[in-house]
Structure 1
Amino acid sequence: MPWWGWVALGVVFVGAVAVAQWRGWIELRGTNQGRGSGNGAFGFADEVFHPTKHEAQKIAAIENELPAPAPAPGDGRLDLEAGRVRIELPDER
C-alpha cells in the first residue's frame, strides 16, 4: 500500500469517529465529565462493543458524587429573598 493509502485510511477513521460522536453513537467526553475516565484514546470501544461496562461506569461515577447536605432546623436563617442559602460544613481535620 502506498503512503497516501495510509493517510487516507487515517482520515477515514478520524472522520468516522467524528461522525459517530456527532450522531450520538459514541461518547468521547468520558463518563465522569473531565476527571479522567481511564479509558484512554480508544475508550469509545467500550461503549460500542461492551455497553454494559460503559453503563456501569456511568452509574458508578454518578453514585460516587456526594450531594451537599440539606439545611437542618438549627442552622439559622435562610436568605430566601436574595435567592441564596449558605451551608457551612464543619472542618473534619
Structure 2
Amino acid sequence: MNWWIFGGVAIGIVVIGWLLQHFRLIDLTPTRRGRGGLGGMVTMVDEVFAPTKHEAAIEADRETRMPAPAPIPGDGDKGIFGGKVVIEVPKDEGRAR
C-alpha cells in the first residue's frame, strides 16, 4: 500500500510543475539545444526556493555568452566623468590639534 503514496506524490509533483509552467510562474524551457528535462526540474526547485541564486545563474550565463568588451588604453572616459575628477576634503573646523 505504501507504493500508492509514493506514486501519488510523484504524480502530484509532475502536475504541480505542469501547472506552474502553464500559468508562467516558472520557466522550464531549455535555454540551449539539448538541455531541459530533469535539469529543468532542478532549475524549478532553484527558482522557487533560491530565487536570487537562480537570477544570478541566469546573469552569469548571459555574461559568458556575450561578455562586455574590455577597456583598452586610449579609450578615454567615454563621457562618463567629463574628464574631471573632484575630491572634496572637509576643512578642520573646530578640531583640536
Shorter-chain TM-score bucket reads 0.5 to 0.7
Secondary structure, counterpart of 2:42 in structure 1? coil
Give distance in 1, aligned partners of 2:46 and 2:3. 31
**RMSD value over aligned CA atoms?**
2.7
Letter in 2 for 1:2: N
Tell me the percent identity.
Answer: 34
Confirm or deny that 1:51 pairs with 2:51.
Answer: yes
Higher relative contact order (CA 8 A, sep 6+): 1
Task: Tell me what 1:34 maps to.
Answer: 32
Look at both structures and tell me which one has the larger radius of gyration over its CA atoms.
Answer: 2
Q: Tell me, which stretches of 5 or more residues in structure 1 are unaligned? A: 68-93
2:21–2:27 Cα contact (<8 Å) kept: yes
Give distance in 2, aligned partners of 1:62 and 1:27. 16
Equivalent pairs, count: 64
- Structure 1 length-normalised TM: 0.53
Give distance in 2, aligned partners of 1:59 and 1:23. 24
- 1:48 offset after TM fit, Å? 0.7
Task: Tell me what 2:6 maps to.
Answer: 6
**Per-residue deviation, residues 18-72 of structure 1 (Å, max 9, x unmatched):** 1111112222235xx12659x94422111111111111111111122238xxxxx
Q: Tell me, which stretches of 5 or more residues in structure 2 are unaligned? A: 68-97
Q: 4+ runs of 1 displaced by more than 3 Å?
A: none
Task: Tell me what 2:80 maps to.
Answer: none
- 1:2 offset after TM fit, Å? 3.3
Give distance in 2, aligned partners of 1:61 and 1:42. 16
> What does residue range 6-25 of structure 1 map to in structure 2 within 5 Å?
6-25=6-25
